[in-house]
Amino acid sequence: MAFQSDNKVIKWIEYRLPIFTLLDHAVGTYPAPKNLSYWWNFGSLAGLMLVVQIVTGIVLVMHYTPHTSLAFTSVEHIMRDVNYGWLIRYIHMNGASFFFIAVYFHIFRGLYYGSYKAPRELLWFLGIIIYLLMMATAFMGYVLPWGQMSFWGATVITNLFSAIPVVGESIVTLLWGGFSVGNPTLNRLFSLHYLLPFIIVGLVILHIWALHQHGSNNPLGIDKKDSRDTIPFHPYYTIKDLFGIAVFLLVFSIFLFYSPNFFGEPDNYIEANPLVTPAHIVPEWYLLPFYAILRSVPSKLGGVILMFAAILILFVLPWLDTSRVRSAKFRPVYKQFFWIFLANCLLLGVVGAKPPEGIWVLIGRLATVYYFAHFLVICPLVGWFERPRPLPTSINEAVLPKAAAAAGE
């Protein structure tokens, strides 16, 4: 149905380019399940943080100098001399962490409610690619201030590629633009750090397009049947998302204004020095679980393969999970394993922050094994042997008070 309006300008544009119809379908009349919980707020929150990062990033680039001899002081110039530069830089720095916080909630919500299952596999794939690009972008951004952790983080991460047989060393030379991390490295990472967010924007558009093909999943995980199961996105979910944004920004502001360096490392306030290695080289918190998996494998190549496999395995999850029931609400066994898996991911994060010695090596290895066992063993087996609880016949029926009491939970 085309968008109706009496406004002449809108009509004139609409006749030539039906953009109002497109927007109306996307965020206006788009029918959303009426039972979405607050766990469904994190998609719009992630989208908001992407915009925040791009806007603050563009302003930062107006004052930043991508050269090894000037990068560190140009960031301090932003912090001290640029009007509200400290605010823009701290928003960007903490915004990265809050972008990941939103995305992690978003991913685990998808895992709990089976949002990756048919017919939403491609939607899930696009999400994984966005997540991969986010990690690459965040890593490159962390290098730009050219502090000690920037420099040594860049050295460690780029060195991973040297594990690739035969061509590894050449790839690393290509990444560095020389024979060590230096000015050419900083310049190419800067260029890519500016490029990738716009590719992420493109993928987000595809992500939303794929979402709107079959609509949002919901806490019950059952398909919507008729108009009684849905409500128009506007005003119901626009106002709910706006409320979520206000609360999220409130939490963000507490860190931004009162603990802006909480997520950072003190070492990154020391200018990069290739002759002095920091005592502990740790990546940013959102990469720690993968760093733990990387270090759990005694062979370098094996570690790199396993680290990438830890993310790539998400691509086959729609087929590894053999249950046809989406929501963990009706899957008593899977539900337990979901929380164990989440706890295991947090544990991997802790291991990633520790020096790889003593008991941490063993814990890291066990947690790594469990991470993969969850996908490769537990998900298929639970799907086969679990007896799911009976599903409600429709969303509308389930959310009515009487039916909800009968469905339990």
Partner 1 sequence: MRKTILSLGLAAVIGLVAPAAQASEGLALPKLSWSFSAPFGTYDRAALQRGFQVYKEVCAACHSMSLLAYRDLQDLGYNEAEVKAIAAQYEVTDGPNDQGEMFQRPAVPSDRFKAPFPNVQAAKAANNGAAPPDLSLMAKARVGGPDYIHALMIGYENAPAGFAMQPGLNYNKYFPGNQIAMPAPINPDGVTFADGTKATVDQQAKDVANFLMWAAEPKLEQRHRMGAQVILFLLLLSVVLYIAKRKIWSDVH
The residues annotated as belonging to the active site are 212, 216, 240-241, 284
Quickly count: other Cβ atoms within 10 Å of residue 257's Cβ.
Answer: 11
For partner 1, the closer of residues 278 and 392 by Cβ is 278
For partner 1, the closer of residues 165 and 408 by Cβ is 408
Tokens read off for 175: 């990444």
For partner 1, the closer of residues 1 and 275 by Cβ is 275
3-state per-residue secondary structure call for the chain: CCCCCCCHHHHHHHHHCCHHHHHHHHHHCCEEECCCCHHHHHHHHHHHHHHHHHHHHHHHHCCCCCCCCCHHHHHHHHHHCCCCHHHHHHHHHHHHHHHHHHHHHHHHHHHHCCCCCCCCHHHHHHHHHHHHHHHHHHHHHHHCCCEHHHHHHHHHHHHHHHHCCCCHHHHHHHHHCCCCCCHHHHHHHHHHHHHHHHHHHHHHHHHHHHHHHHCCCCCCCCCCCCHHHEEEHHHHHHHHHHHHHHHHHHHHHHHHHHCCCCCCCHHHHCECCCCCCCCCCCCCHHHHHHHHHHHHCCCHHHHHHHHHHHHHHHHHHHHHCCCCCCCHHHCHHHHHHHHHHHHHHHHHHHHHHCCCCCHHHHHHHHHHHHHHHHHHHHHHHHHHHCCCCCCCCCHHHHHCHHHHHHHCC
For partner 1, the closer of residues 17 and 251 by Cβ is 251
Closest by Cα among 301, 260, 305 to 96: 260
The contacts of residue 107 (CB under 8 Å, 6+ apart) are 127, 131
Give the residues lining the site for partner 1 (CB under 8 A): 34, 73, 76, 79-80, 86-87, 90, 231, 235-236, 239-240, 242-243, 246-247, 249-250, 253-254, 256-258, 260-261, 266-267, 269-270, 279-280, 335-336, 338-340, 342-343, 346-347, 349-350, 353-355
For partner 1, the closer of residues 14 and 267 by Cβ is 267
According to DSSP, the residues that pair with 271 across neighbouring strands are: 147
| Minimum CB–partner distance for residue 164 and partner 1 (Å) | 33
For partner 1, the closer of residues 21 and 238 by Cβ is 238
For partner 1, the closer of residues 81 and 169 by Cβ is 81
| Minimum CB–partner distance for residue 149 and partner 1 (Å) | 11
| Minimum CB–partner distance for residue 79 and partner 1 (Å) | 7
Rounded distance between C-alpha atoms, residue 170 and residue 57, angstroms: 32
| Minimum CB–partner distance for residue 354 and partner 1 (Å) | 7
Rounded distance between C-alpha atoms, residue 236 and residue 232, angstroms: 7
For partner 1, the closer of residues 84 and 198 by Cβ is 84
